[in-house]
Chain A
Amino acid sequence: MGQTLLKISHLHKKFGDRVILKDLNLEVKKGEVVVVIGPSGCGKSTFLRCLNALEDIQGGEVLLDGEPVRKDASNVSAMRQKIGMVFQSYDLFPHKTVMGNILLAPLKVQKRDRQEVEREAVELLGKVGLADRRDDYPRQLSGGQKQRVAIVRALIMHPEILLLDEITAALDPEMVHEVLQVVLALAKNGRTMLIVTHEMAFARAIADRILFLEDGEIVEESGDPKAFFEKPQTERARQFLRSFEY
């Protein structure tokens, strides 16, 4: 694990008067997988959305490779190309085929060569097990398949970091596995990722580091996921984890 890729310092986020994130600090190193967990409404998703400037921030800064990511900056498109994001509801473009979804940004934004991008797209689709679905429309796919396409759509941009925002939360249980397998394979290949999830077993398996977020604050941070899940240090994390037991 190498140098710092993403540096978040004193991040403040408010919606009107409501404070969502208070003075958040985090460094993500190249190749690291950081998993953010916490109760609903604790600000996890907003946190991820601040990192690629889908939300403006009221204080602090987000640096990628030492360069600020800001919603109002003129280089926001260039910065977002380095930050891949996959959403809970997949959000493929319904009027485009699988291939059309994947090719849009590399061709129109990065102006890459069509043949080269197509070759890469086919290869990536093969890796996620969807080689034969390239000409299907999103409505012809299952949720798990859509989410795998969304991952490919993000990967083809060659992002330096991948943000995954509860990517299995909208899936039927039997489809969660196929998506998480893809993410596990990415982690094995050294992909830097910041993951928000409610799948605790998955978090434990994939995380290099766990952040427990509550009320817009990092309540507990642990570089040892196994220890965190077995013996959390704070009472609030303990309570939260207990809510997953039956």
Chain B
Amino acid sequence: MQSLGIDVLFKGTNFIRLLGGLWVAVRISLISVALSILLGLVVGVLMTSRSKILRALFRIYLEIVRIMPQMVLLFVVYFGTTRVFGWNLAAETSAVIVFTFWGVAEMGDLVRGALISIPKIQYESAEALGLVPTQTYRYVILPQTVRRLIPLSINLVTRMIKTTSLVMMIGIVEVLKVAQQIIEANRRVSPNAAFGVFAVVFLLYFLICWPIGRLAAYLEKRWA
């Protein structure tokens, strides 16, 4: 059987570099996810607002995010703004901006969905007990909303982590890029490295996303 080429990872600091690349990907997702959740909560509440104009604006925002491929957004923010606005954004900043722009829209929509899925009678039975609106939100509505939200938003988190593989296109050296570099550098001595190294990258993504997915499933079951 031919060698799978995994051995190149144990040469020098290759594996450490690969893990370093993974950390870059995880770091971008963590920052973006944190921002998306915070801003998404606000946007989600605004999406249920009575104002038609506000609702329409957020609707358009959400559609733009859904229609536009993330890579195009990355290019617009990283390359486009440099010429047009003269901004010199770091690649990682651009990535965080794009991922947050995406995450806030999707998170907002999840929050909106969770909020409107709480039956009206839950508000009423709280009010009938004398709770004022802020108490109703704090003790009755929000705890239920968050429970519905967590499994859904974890899904979004894993999608974000996976999509960070795009950021190598704007020059960020993350796990996939490091893998490519290792493969290129060892092309002669270990021509099969592409298989082994990318398989390890696959495994690394799996190791990050799988536990998150399990957590979502667990919470979903517990709070069903």
Residues of A at the B interface (CB closer than 8 Å) are 52, 54, 77-78, 80-81, 83-85, 87, 89, 91-95, 104-105, 108-110, 153-154, 157
Give CA–CA (A236, B38) in the complex, Å.
59
Beta-carbon contact of B147 and A93 below 8 Å? no
Q: Cβ of A89: which chain B residues have Cβ within 8 Å of it?
A: 121
Asked if B128 CB lies within 8 Å of chain A CBs, one says yes
Beta-carbon contact of B124 and A77 below 8 Å? no
Asked if B168 CB lies within 8 Å of chain A CBs, one says no
Grouping DSSP codes into helix (H, G, I), strand (E, B) and loop, the B interface class, with mixed when no group exceeds half, is helix
Beta-carbon contact of B121 and A91 below 8 Å? yes
- Interface stretch among B99-107, B132-140, B189-197? B132-140
Beta-carbon contact of B139 and A87 below 8 Å? no
Partner of B122, one of A80, A91, A105: A91
Asked if B143 CB lies within 8 Å of chain A CBs, one says yes
Not counting A87-B124, A104-B131, A157-B130, a sample of 16 additional A-B residue pairs whose C-beta atoms are within 8 angstroms of each other reads: A54-B128, A77-B131, A77-B132, A80-B130, A81-B129, A92-B125, A93-B126, A95-B143, A95-B144, A95-B147, A104-B129, A104-B139, A108-B131, A109-B135, A154-B129, A157-B129
Q: Cβ of A105: which chain B residues have Cβ within 8 Å of it?
A: 129-131
Nearest residue in B to A54 (C-beta to C-beta)? B124
Q: How many residue-residue contacts, CB under 8 A, span A and B?
A: 58
Give CA–CA (A228, B118) in the complex, Å.
42
A87-B121, A91-B122 known; A52 vs B131 contact (CB < 8 Å): no
B180-192 toward A: CB 8 Å interface, digit per residue (1/0)?
A: 0000000000000
Q: Cβ of A52: which chain B residues have Cβ within 8 Å of it?
A: 128
A-B contact pairs, 20 of them (CB 8 A): A54-B124, A83-B128, A84-B128, A85-B128, A87-B121, A87-B124, A87-B128, A91-B119, A91-B122, A91-B125, A93-B126, A93-B140, A95-B223, A104-B139, A105-B130, A108-B131, A108-B135, A109-B129, A154-B129, A157-B129
